[in-house]
A = this chain, B = another copy of it.
Amino acid sequence: METTSVVELAIANLLSPPVLAFALGLLAVAVKSDLRLPEPVYQAISIYLLLGIGIKGGVALRDSSLQEIWLPIAVTLLLGVLIPLGAYVISWWFTRLDAINRGALAAHYGSTSLVTFTAALVFIESSGQFAEGYLVTLLAILEVPGIIVGLLLASRARKGGIAWGESLQEVLSGKSIVLLVGGLAIGVASGSAGFASIEPFFGGLFTGVLTLFLLELGIVAGRRLPDVKRTGWGLVAFGTLFPLLAGFAGVAGGLFAGLSVGGAALLGVLSASSSYIAAPTAVRLALPEASPGIYLTASLGITFPFNLIAGIPLYYWYAETLGGLIGWN
């Protein structure tokens, strides 16, 4: 893939079934279709994706030494603190929102999006590239600190502060963390022999199920589009430019920590993507004054489609170029 241009990468990504299904979902909303994936099936698929990606990551993690992964973990933790701080400051330049709403944005952009990561994984695998298996560990690690930093930033502006005990409990015991961490543990414990028996389900079906899931996410994002107009161009600019920056930070950090080009691209995707499972719930309960019309619209209506369509190949291109510069690969 090294010789293909960024445009070819982008086109290959655009023509993959998952991304096309996402576009179909957007279109379904545009033609006022009543198409929806039923809520319980949507929930079950997100459990399937989280657990499956956790187990696969765990199987891979088994072969990694602590020596190999401590630096990537440290870098990830750093990104988990710096990205929400950056989002808090930079969103001010673009939107002039109050501290509570910017704290909410920081919590979303500091955390990460499973589906964007998954789509990137499919992209990397389908173009025959390598990426370290323990990236899933980094995904799990990056989920939480961003949310905490975001809430911290907002709480300073909030009289009454935040019920930290309740909020932390909700985030740490939420299904994202339980399934990712639990899946990692299952993968580590059962290894590739154990995984073989469930591979047809958690492995073979993965891209197909993701396609169905992205159809529904396209519908959900499409229903947010009218809100995008309402929230104004400042938010659109933030929701596309900030990921470009955060993605760069992730790629650079990844290469610094010794990740492969594919691995650094994935850490870029993790950094650039914003949460829409763990963060919205936490923010809704802890910061009820923050407007979901702002943070959900930015995260789900702007950044998620942007990353899916343009970001993923771009962060890969970052990694390839930067990796080339520093003589990596």
Contacts and interface: CB of A to CB of B under 8 A. Distances in A.
A126 B196 CA distance: 10
A35 B178 contact: yes
Q: Is the interface of A mostly helix, strand, loop or mixed?
A: helix
Given A44-B41, A200-B204, A31 B190 contact: no
Given A40-B38, A41-B41, A44-B41, A20 B189 contact: yes
Contacts of A167: none
A200 B208 contact: yes
A67 interface: no
A33 B177 CA distance: 10
A122 B194 CA distance: 11
Contact of A175 (B34, B173, B178, B211): B34
Contacts of A190: 15-17, 20
B198 A28 contact: no
A27 interface: yes
B43 A212 contact: no
Interface in A183-217: 183, 185-186, 189-191, 194-195, 197-202, 204-205, 207-209, 211-212, 215
Contacts of A35: 47, 175, 178-179
B212 A205 contact: no
A11 to B, nearest CB: 10
Nearest to A54: B24
Contacts of A32: 169, 173
Contacts of A15: 189-191, 194
Interface size class of A (residues with CB under 8 A): 35 or more
A186 B172 CA distance: 38
- Among A189, A195, A201, the most chain B Cβ lie within 10 Å of the Cβ of A201
A174 interface: yes
A145 to B, nearest CB: 19
A37 interface: yes
A38 B46 CA distance: 11
Nearest to A198: B208
A259 interface: no
Nearest to A187: B17
A153 interface: no
24 contacts: A15-B189, A15-B194, A17-B195, A20-B185, A20-B186, A20-B189, A20-B190, A21-B186, A31-B173, A31-B178, A32-B169, A33-B175, A34-B175, A35-B47, A38-B39, A41-B43, A41-B44, A48-B212, A126-B197, A200-B200, A200-B204, A201-B204, A201-B212, A205-B205
Query: Which A-B residue pairs are the 8 nearest by beta carbons?
Result: A201-B208, A38-B40, A200-B204, A198-B208, A24-B182, A41-B44, A33-B173, A20-B186
